[in-house]
Amino acid sequence: MDIFTIFLYIHITGGALSLISGSIVLMAYKGDRFHIRVGKIYYYTMLIAVTAAIPMCFLHPNYFLFIISIFSGYMVLSGQRYIRIKTIDDGKPFDKILAYTILIFGLVFLGLGGYHLYQSKLFGIIFLVFGTICVSFYFQDFKNFSGKSKFANFGLMSHIQRMIGGYISSITAFIVVNNKILPGVIAWLLPTVILVPLIIYWSRKYEKKRMV
């Protein structure tokens, strides 16, 4: 068994467990002990899947795996960090490093998207969509850590958005790998279109506007 196959098995195991645990968390009551415990399983299995995927991208270059890995890693890492952040003083250098990292990758994705579309390759749309999302999350981080967020509970809001975002990545990976019916671009974007309304719903449900 070669090294790539070993990473592949680790990645598949972590991805499957994160998909199952993430689905449970999504349907469970939010904030209770069960939610927290299963949420930790989701977090760590996602990290396992992402960590195994990174060397796979170098051993066998793969745009799909690279995008999902970077996006998923940022989502779950920043999402887990935000649950501990109540005020701007709770932010650590690691949080800012995550923000700058996703900005860099977002700009790279946007550049690759433009390049692919220039070459009449529809995959450029995928790069543009994920690049735009990455950059938008950087600006959200910037507002949060500079005290410019309009939400008093910006940590909770960001936690909800990032964790569901990571779940969207997991679902996207599953659909793209197993898709036999849908056009490629639709398979990539369908989970985002379906699940983003959930992010909006729970964000509005738990939001607490900052007093002016």
pTM (predicted TM-score): 0.85
Under a CB-based contact definition with an 8 Å cutoff, are residues 65 and 188 in contact?
no
Report domain extents, the chain. 3-206
Under a CB-based contact definition with an 8 Å cutoff, are residues 17 and 41 in contact?
yes
Going by pLDDT thresholds of 50, 70 and 90, the confidence category of residue 87 is confident
Q: Which stretches of 83-153 are DSSP H helices?
A: 93-118, 123-145
Average pLDDT, the chain: 87
Nearest alpha carbon to residue 43 among 130, 171, 135, 164: 164
DSSP state of 90: G
Residue 80, both tokens: 């887990």
* Tokens 């199952």 sit on residue: 20
Model pLDDT for residues 131-173, shown as the tens digit of each residue: 998 999 999 999 998 888 888 888 888 998 899 988 988 888 8
